[in-house]
Amino acid sequence: MTDTNRTDRRSSFNRRSYLKAIGATGALTFGSGVAGAMSSPTDYVYVPHGKRVRTEKVVAHEDTNRTVSPADVATMQSEPEVTSQKNPEVPDVHEWLAYTLGTYNSNDGNGFKRYQGYFVVPTSPPTSGDVDFLFPAFEDADYTTIVQPVLQWDWGSYTDQWTYSAWWGPDSSGAYHHGPVKPADPGDTLYGYMNVGSSSGGQWYIEMQNVDKGTSSSVYSDDLSLDFTHAFTTLEVAAYNWGRCDQLPGYTTFYNQVFENFAGQSVGVNWSGIVNSNAQCDVSATASSSSETTIHTPN
C-alpha cells in the first residue's frame, strides 16, 4: 500500500513545526571517525530523524566494547503476533522519502524488544548534493524517540562517502547520540541490532556491524520509559531537490530481519509501503515478507 496524501496529518503535528524555520547547516569536525569539535554554536547538522539540530545537540560516543553475534537471537516461541498499520507523522524539514512501516499491536502493550537484520550498502548517488540516511528503526507510540543503526551518505565532513553509526534520540535535552562513525563501501554487508532489557523501560543497545570490514559502531540510550511500537525501514533525504533523481542511491533490500517481543516470541510484521507526497522520482517501498523489505529508487 502506498500513501501519497499525508500533508494534513503532518501539518497537524505541532511539535515539529518549528523545524521549518531552521536555516543554515554546518559540518562536524571528525577525529578517528568520531564527531569532535563543533565549528560554531550557530551551525546545524542533520540527524536521521527528519531534523536539523544545533551541533552541540549531537553527542558522539566511543564504542561500548560490547559486540553481539549475528547468531545471538533468542529462541522464538510462537507464531507471529497480529500487527496493524498507522501512518506516522514524519517531519518535513528534510523528509523520509520512502519507507515501510509496521505497528506492534499486542495485548501486553510493551511493543518491540529486539531487532536484527541485514542490508547491503547500495551504489552511491550518481550526483552529489544531498545527505542520505538508510536504516531500520523503532519509534515509540508518539513518534518522539527513535533508536536506529544508520548508513549515511555525505554526512558531516565525510563528503561523497558512505559511513555508518548507531543512533538514538532525542534525550530529555533534545540531543541526539551516535556511536563512532565508521566507513563503508558499496557492496558491504551491514548487520543491525537493537535490544532493550526491560518491558518497563530501560537502556536500548544499538549496534551496526560492517560484516566485510570487521568493524562496528554501538551506543546505549538513556533509560527510556517508552513502548517502542513502530518498526521502519527507511530512506531519508536531506538537502534534497525533489526533482534530482540522480542524487538518490541505488535500491536497498533489508533482509533476514527478526523482530521479538518481551515474551521472547517472534513478531511477524505486516508492512505498509509509504512514499512521500513530494516525491517526483520513481521510488517505492515494498515488502516481500515479514523479514524482507526493499526501498526502490531509479538508480
- Domain membership flag for residue 110: yes
Question: Alpha carbon of 73 to those of 68, 133, 206: distances in Å?
Answer: 9, 26, 14
In a domain, 181, yes or no: yes
Q: Per the domain annotation, does 68 fall within a domain?
A: no
In order along its 299 residues, the chain shows pLDDT tens digits of 444 333 332 322 332 332 222 222 322 222 333 333 333 434 889 999 998 899 999 999 987 655 555 544 332 323 333 233 333 443 334 689 999 999 997 766 689 999 999 999 999 999 988 999 999 999 999 999 999 999 999 998 899 999 999 999 999 999 999 999 999 999 999 999 999 987 667 899 999 999 999 999 999 999 998 999 999 999 999 988 888 999 999 999 999 999 999 888 899 999 999 999 999 999 999 999 999 999 999 99
Q: Letter for the amino acid at 283?
A: V
pTM of the model: 0.79
Q: Is residue 2 part of a domain?
A: no
In a domain, 70, yes or no: no
Is residue 118 situated within a structural domain?
yes
175: exposed, middle or buried (Cβ count in 10 Å: 0-12, 13-18, 19+): middle
Q: What is the CATH number of the domain that holds 214?
A: 2.60.120.700
Residue 69: inside a domain: no
Question: Total structural domains in the chain?
Answer: 1
Of 128, 140, 148, 101, nearest in space to 295 by CA:
101
Question: How many beta carbons lie within 10 A of that of residue 161, not counting itself?
Answer: 16
The Cα 117–Cα 84 span in angstroms is 21
Assigned domain for 1 exists: no
- H-run or E-run covering 9: helix 7-11
Question: Which domain, by its residues, includes 32?
Answer: 7-62+76-296
